[in-house]
Chain A
Amino acid sequence: MAAILEIRDLRKVYDGGFEALKGVTLDIEEGEILALLGPNGAGKTTLISTLCGITEPTSGTATVAGYDIKTQYREARKLIGLVPQEINLEPFSYVETNLHFSRGIFGKPRDNAKVEDVLRKLALWEKRANRVRELSGGMKRRVLIGKALAHEPRVLFLDEPTAGVDVGLRKEMWDVVAELKEQGVTIILTTHYIEEAEAMADRVAVIRGGEILMVEKTADLMRRLGCKELTVELREPLAEIPAPLSDYDLELAADGLSLTYRYDTQADRTGIAGLMRAFSEAGIILRDLHTSQSSLEEIFVGLVEGEGEAQ
């Protein structure tokens, strides 16, 4: 699939001198759901704001369907819809008027049928004549989504769509996102919940400290996530892995004095017991052993710890 969004070495230094994006390079494919996963203050909102024209990038480029976000901002922005992190709505405005306005400023002609369609999909049609301040939090967020969809964008940014939303509404939001994907909309959402990324995204980009640490298919990431490493230190160095152990996924250190075994902590059988038997059958004497989490796991421990820090 072709990339609809190409981000190249995007940097953002805020006026105070703080570098919120340290050269982000990322491709987003048409039709996929990409989760930007990272703790508070990672630079998720800054990245989205920069792509949408709310924040000026310090350097670097980005294109949407080939249109440069700075030099061809009109073409680029027409293709983008943005649902901000905060509930930014005029409290006294009416739901339906809001969507017509959004369509208008994106240069689209008035289209009652289209606006009705969007409102119905978001279960807001009954509330169309209500003022925004009369709506619940979940409905307000859906109004924001409606505004972002009113001009029929091909790329939708959702900044923390489920932050501060209760469990029921979170599930509802996931369904909305899934349906949008069905319609072929490319979706980039930010979150600091791993479960949310897992539930919704095709790929996950992990961001921390203004840098993209990794981009992976969600399934691959989750597989690697549950992994632990068992390191076995040997009394005598080995030249190669002996035959009885060949069934196991083992890695021999360069000095031949340690073996590393990677296993899934969530699996029914970790294979450790069998491995131990195989060691004694092969007559290998162990000096010591210890387990550690994979480097990926450490990132996520960091992710969780990073929560609650100031934005």
Chain B
Amino acid sequence: MNLRAVQAIYMNEMQRFFRTILQSFVSPVISTSLYFVVFGAAIGSRIETVEGVSYGAFIVPGLIMLSVIMQSISNASFGIYFPKFTGTVFELLSAPINFLEIVIGFVGAAATKALFIGMVILGTASVFIDLTILHPVAMVLFLVLTCLAFALLGFIIGIWAKNFEQLQLVPLLVVTPLVFLGGSFYSTDMLPPVWQTITHFNPVFYLISGFRWAFFGVADVAVGWSLLAVAVFFTICLGLVARIFQTGWRIRD
């Protein structure tokens, strides 16, 4: 294992993040505050509680998941797409490193940044409302797994993308709807039965449900299913990435 290479890639990716640390910090704080003003105050005043949890608190896990998923994808996809775009990818291909080391470097950095932003949102939310986290270990586990799984997905998108439009396409057309329809801001009990069934095919639904369980002990599905869903999703992404590097798809002629 060329650990120095992993470290070099990881630090190189993180440096871009550090350079814009203020921006990275301020924007989730502002957007989270806005969500609380709009959803928590405006809508929450009519809904009161969902499954025994105040609406303001209820949306926190979904809010964190939403940001963390989008951040993981965009960080990782941009991270690997950029060297392809500038041509600097030649150096990665000619270095004494293997695919796993490249993935750990890029995906690790992307996940770290997303995790940081997830934490900032959590911190901001706790300013607005009283939050008690029932299962903190499970909460962190879900968060880390989600960051890693979606950073992997982002990595795949970044390798696949041939231009900036394609880079935006998947997050916009696939991931955003999945996240919003995955119960970020509502309990699926509130939906008509047909939609409840459809929701069960949405992998993000399991994530959010499990994550919410870690906070409040209530969930749409048993937490075991949620864990399984993240694990399966993670494995599929890992398998895809491994396959990409075996075949050199879109990176090596």
Contacts and interface: CB of A to CB of B under 8 A. Distances in A.
B90 A90 contact: no
Contact of A53 (B15, B83, B94): B94
A104 B87 contact: no
B95 A88 contact: no
A310 interface: no
A15 interface: yes
B87 A84 contact: yes
A89 B82 CA distance: 11
A73 B97 CA distance: 9
Contacts of A87: 87
A113 interface: no
Interface of A: 14-15, 49, 52-56, 73-78, 80, 82, 84, 86-91, 97, 100-109, 147
27 contacts: A15-B253, A49-B253, A53-B93, A53-B94, A55-B252, A55-B253, A73-B96, A74-B2, A74-B96, A77-B96, A78-B96, A84-B90, A88-B86, A88-B87, A89-B86, A101-B8, A104-B4, A104-B5, A104-B7, A104-B9, A104-B11, A104-B12, A105-B4, A105-B8, A105-B92, A107-B5, A109-B4
Contact of A105 (B91, B248, B252): B91
B94 A52 contact: yes
A53 B87 CA distance: 15
Interface string B70-100: 0000000000001100111011111111000
Interface string B12-56: 100100000000000000000000000000000000000000000
Nearest to B87: A88
B88 A106 contact: no
A90 B90 CA distance: 12
A164 B97 CA distance: 32
A131 to B, nearest CB: 11
A80 B94 contact: yes
A106 B5 contact: yes
A77 B91 CA distance: 11
A102 B91 contact: yes
Interface residues of B, number: 25
Nearest to B7: A104
User: Mostly helix, strand, loop or mixed at chain B's interface?
Assistant: helix
B114 to A, nearest CB: 22
A102 B96 CA distance: 11
Contacts of A76: 96
A104 B12 CA distance: 10
Contacts of B7: 104
Enumerate the 3 nearest inter-chain pairs by beta-carbon distance, A residue then B residue, closest first: A104-B8, A88-B87, A74-B96
Nearest to B251: A54
A218 B202 CA distance: 68
Nearest to B11: A104
Contacts of B11: 104
Contact of A107 (B2, B248, B253): B2
A52 B92 CA distance: 11
A77 B94 contact: yes
A105 B9 contact: yes
A152 to B, nearest CB: 13
B88 A105 contact: no
Contact of B94 (A54, A90, A91): A54
A56 B253 contact: yes
Contacts of B5: 104-107
A62 to B, nearest CB: 14
Interface in B216-253: 248, 252-253
A86 B7 CA distance: 27
Given A52-B94, A82-B90, A101 B253 contact: no
